[in-house]
Amino acid sequence: MIKKLPYIFFISLLIAACGKEQSPPVYPVAVPADCDLSSVNYPHSIRQIIGKNCAYSGCHFPGNGNYDFTTYEAVAERIRSGRFTERILLPVNHSLHMPVGFAMDSCELAKMMIWINNGFPEN
Protein backbone atom coordinates (compact mmCIF):
# COMPACT_ATOMS: atom_id res chain seq x y z
CA MET A 1 0.00 0.00 0.00
CA ILE A 2 2.83 2.41 0.84
CA LYS A 3 4.36 1.88 -2.62
CA LYS A 4 1.04 2.87 -4.23
CA LEU A 5 0.73 6.09 -2.21
CA PRO A 6 2.92 8.24 -4.53
CA TYR A 7 0.90 7.07 -7.55
CA ILE A 8 -2.38 7.82 -5.82
CA PHE A 9 -1.09 11.27 -4.83
CA PHE A 10 0.09 12.01 -8.38
CA ILE A 11 -3.20 10.91 -9.96
CA SER A 12 -5.17 12.95 -7.40
CA LEU A 13 -3.05 15.99 -8.23
CA LEU A 14 -3.72 15.56 -11.95
CA ILE A 15 -7.45 15.21 -11.43
CA ALA A 16 -7.55 18.30 -9.20
CA ALA A 17 -5.55 20.35 -11.72
CA CYS A 18 -7.78 19.34 -14.62
CA GLY A 19 -10.98 20.16 -12.76
CA LYS A 20 -10.16 23.80 -12.11
CA GLU A 21 -11.34 26.36 -14.60
CA GLN A 22 -9.03 29.22 -15.39
CA SER A 23 -10.25 32.61 -14.32
CA PRO A 24 -10.73 35.06 -17.16
CA PRO A 25 -8.17 37.86 -17.27
CA VAL A 26 -8.96 41.15 -15.57
CA TYR A 27 -7.93 44.14 -17.66
CA PRO A 28 -6.77 47.48 -16.28
CA VAL A 29 -9.28 50.25 -16.82
CA ALA A 30 -8.52 53.96 -17.11
CA VAL A 31 -11.72 55.84 -16.27
CA PRO A 32 -11.89 59.51 -17.30
CA ALA A 33 -13.00 61.84 -14.50
CA ASP A 34 -16.19 62.89 -16.33
CA CYS A 35 -17.26 59.33 -17.20
CA ASP A 36 -20.62 58.30 -15.70
CA LEU A 37 -20.43 54.61 -14.74
CA SER A 38 -23.90 54.41 -13.20
CA SER A 39 -25.40 52.32 -16.00
CA VAL A 40 -22.75 49.94 -17.28
CA ASN A 41 -24.82 47.05 -18.59
CA TYR A 42 -25.51 45.45 -21.93
CA PRO A 43 -29.05 46.69 -22.63
CA HIS A 44 -28.57 50.34 -21.61
CA SER A 45 -25.02 51.22 -22.56
CA ILE A 46 -22.87 48.44 -24.02
CA ARG A 47 -25.23 47.57 -26.90
CA GLN A 48 -25.21 51.25 -27.96
CA ILE A 49 -21.41 51.47 -27.72
CA ILE A 50 -21.01 48.35 -29.85
CA GLY A 51 -23.58 49.67 -32.33
CA LYS A 52 -21.74 52.96 -32.68
CA ASN A 53 -18.22 51.53 -32.88
CA CYS A 54 -18.59 48.00 -34.28
CA ALA A 55 -22.02 46.93 -35.51
CA TYR A 56 -22.67 49.36 -38.35
CA SER A 57 -23.07 48.79 -42.08
CA GLY A 58 -19.75 47.78 -43.58
CA CYS A 59 -18.39 46.21 -40.43
CA HIS A 60 -19.88 43.81 -37.85
CA PHE A 61 -23.39 43.99 -39.23
CA PRO A 62 -25.69 41.25 -40.60
CA GLY A 63 -24.78 40.21 -44.14
CA ASN A 64 -21.25 41.64 -44.16
CA GLY A 65 -19.50 38.29 -43.71
CA ASN A 66 -17.95 39.41 -40.42
CA TYR A 67 -19.19 38.51 -36.96
CA ASP A 68 -22.65 39.98 -36.45
CA PHE A 69 -22.22 42.17 -33.37
CA THR A 70 -25.88 43.17 -33.36
CA THR A 71 -26.47 40.10 -31.16
CA TYR A 72 -25.27 39.60 -27.61
CA GLU A 73 -24.36 35.95 -28.36
CA ALA A 74 -21.86 36.87 -31.09
CA VAL A 75 -20.19 39.53 -28.94
CA ALA A 76 -20.00 37.21 -25.93
CA GLU A 77 -18.47 34.43 -28.05
CA ARG A 78 -15.75 36.79 -29.33
CA ILE A 79 -15.04 38.02 -25.79
CA ARG A 80 -14.73 34.43 -24.54
CA SER A 81 -12.26 33.70 -27.34
CA GLY A 82 -10.15 36.68 -26.26
CA ARG A 83 -10.16 38.24 -29.73
CA PHE A 84 -12.63 41.04 -28.99
CA THR A 85 -10.67 42.47 -26.09
CA GLU A 86 -7.33 41.89 -27.77
CA ARG A 87 -8.36 43.88 -30.82
CA ILE A 88 -9.91 46.88 -29.04
CA LEU A 89 -6.84 47.24 -26.81
CA LEU A 90 -4.31 47.28 -29.65
CA PRO A 91 -2.78 50.67 -30.54
CA VAL A 92 -4.89 52.56 -33.09
CA ASN A 93 -2.11 52.40 -35.69
CA HIS A 94 -1.92 48.58 -35.46
CA SER A 95 -3.40 46.85 -38.53
CA LEU A 96 -5.65 44.61 -36.36
CA HIS A 97 -6.97 47.38 -34.09
CA MET A 98 -10.73 47.63 -33.80
CA PRO A 99 -12.59 49.80 -34.49
CA VAL A 100 -10.74 50.23 -37.79
CA GLY A 101 -9.17 53.64 -38.25
CA PHE A 102 -10.19 55.37 -35.03
CA ALA A 103 -9.96 55.16 -31.26
CA MET A 104 -13.04 54.45 -29.22
CA ASP A 105 -14.09 57.27 -26.90
CA SER A 106 -12.17 56.80 -23.60
CA CYS A 107 -15.35 56.71 -21.50
CA GLU A 108 -16.95 54.17 -23.84
CA LEU A 109 -13.79 52.05 -23.72
CA ALA A 110 -13.78 52.22 -19.90
CA LYS A 111 -17.43 51.11 -19.78
CA MET A 112 -16.70 48.27 -22.20
CA MET A 113 -13.72 47.04 -20.16
CA ILE A 114 -15.61 47.26 -16.85
CA TRP A 115 -18.44 45.23 -18.39
CA ILE A 116 -15.97 42.64 -19.70
CA ASN A 117 -14.13 42.47 -16.35
CA ASN A 118 -17.49 41.88 -14.64
CA GLY A 119 -18.15 38.80 -16.78
CA PHE A 120 -20.02 40.62 -19.62
CA PRO A 121 -23.54 39.83 -18.36
CA GLU A 122 -26.44 40.14 -20.79
CA ASN A 123 -28.65 42.06 -18.34
- pLDDT-derived band at 5 (thresholds 50, 70, 90) equals very low
Give CA–CA dist 27/113, Å, rounded. Answer: 7
Flag whether 20 is in a domain: no
Flag whether 99 is in a domain: yes
Flag whether 110 is in a domain: yes
Beta carbons of 107 and 114 less than 8 angstroms apart: no
Query: pTM for the complete prediction?
Result: 0.76
Flag whether 11 is in a domain: no
Q: What is the pLDDT of residues 98-112, one digit of tens each?
A: 998 899 999 999 999
Give CA–CA dist 75/77, Å, rounded. Answer: 5
The pLDDT value recorded for residue 58 is 81
Structural domain boundaries enclosing 88: 38-123
Q: Considering its fold, how many domains does the chain have in total?
A: 1
Flag whether 4 is in a domain: no
Beta carbons of 107 and 19 less than 8 angstroms apart: no
Flag whether 27 is in a domain: no
Give CA–CA dist 75/9, Å, rounded. Answer: 42
